[in-house]
Amino acid sequence: MNPIDYKQKRDDLVNGFLMSWDIRKDEMLAAKYHIVSASLSNYLPGIDCRAHGDIFKNILLHQQLSHLEQASYGALQHMSCENLSGTTWGILKNGPSIICTFHTGSYRLINLFLTRNKISYSLVIANNVIKTQGDLFNDLYRGIMNSPGANGLEIINAEHPSSGLQMLKNLKKGRSLLLYVDGNTGAGGGTMKNENHCRINFLNQMLLARKGIGFLAHAANVPILPVACYRKSLEDIRLRFFEPICPNTSEAREVFAVRSTQAIYDLLAPIVQECPEQWEAWLYLHKSAHIINGYQKKGEPELGEGRKLVFNKSLYSVFSIAGRAFLFNRNSYLSYPIDNNLYALLSGCGMQGAKREDVDIALLQQLCNNHVLEVA
């Protein structure tokens, strides 16, 4: 895509997205919004909840922009690098290294950047991305390299049970790896509560993060090279490089894996704080969230006559999909089916409150015990 076509498509995308945006017309999108809003409240509690709608809208916009720009050579003309020192450049060119990046900004542009600079690497991505876009990545690589037979790019299925071994073999052969550390898939799939993960501090909470990058770096004795993309504006896309994280072979592999994983997320945190709308992982952060600073429960409410009850929006949300209503706990990310009468009651409480006499006493006690309702 040439530069003129890219700018036109980008501007059309932005203008069309903003014009068509209406969360009320899409129940699934509204449900997803409540999940993202919960994560924003948990991890960035300083942001006013009234701003969550705009942030969510822009998360989806940046997601669409990143898909457009992954195949847009013209976008490279709007991209510049920060902190790309001679040492870092030498690691990139001479390899091997583990290039560790995030789902921030135009996060797929790094593929075009590496290819344009003739850096041989293996891309580690999820199976569904390989199925839908694997051919595109290969075509882009061959197009930039001006050679139909160019084979400098290899793609590794991050969810395959042998993916860790494939990555290690690539590093041993001198090929770098490009991985997205904050994705919601990992080597061999599995559960978030297995030995492939560790608990780390992130913003106001903790999360369960994959630590395989640290294991690979230590096993192959290669540096981890963190890099993050973010936008200063539509016309100004940045690739920010960070100091390499080098393994110490005298340090236990497990210790280095956990330490380096924490260090990587420490680099991500300020970017997410500054540009929360540019982090796509909000859409699936709930799958790895570990909430330690949860809702502070108040004492038992006094349910005397005439007391007004309000819906506890700090801890719960309600939404409806295809006629089925749900109560959503914003700390645990669990949803509970509720009947339409309770849905109407809680929705009404959220706006104007309800009198104690208007609620069945047994239901009222249950709602108050679980802090769904609070006394105003």
In angstroms, the Cα distances linking 6 to 3, 78, 140 are 5, 11, 15
Q: What is the pLDDT of residue 23?
A: 77
Query: How far, in Å, CA of 74 to CA of 2, rounded?
Result: 5
pLDDT tier for residue 149 given thresholds of 50, 70 and 90: very low
pLDDT score of 7 more than 50: yes
pLDDT score of 372 more than 60: yes
pLDDT score of 144 more than 80: no
- Entry pTM: 0.89
- As given in the structure block, the two tokens for residue 338 are 């509720």
| Closest residue by Cα to residue 110 from 173, 168, 180 | 180
CB-based contact 217:98 (threshold 8 Å)? yes
pLDDT tier for residue 150 given thresholds of 50, 70 and 90: very low
Tokens 């309600």 locate to 318
Strand partners of residue 338: 325
Query: How far, in Å, CA of 48 to CA of 314, rounded?
Result: 12
pLDDT in tens, 47-104: 999 999 999 999 999 999 998 998 888 899 999 999 999 999 999 999 899 999 999 9
> Residue 179: how many CB atoms within 10 A of its CB?
24
pLDDT in tens, 191-250: 445 678 899 999 999 999 999 999 999 999 999 999 999 999 999 999 999 999 999 989
**Which tops the pLDDT comparison, 189 or 70?**
70
String of b and e for 2-22 (b: at least 16 CB within 10 Å)?
Answer: eeeebbebbeeeeeeeeeebe
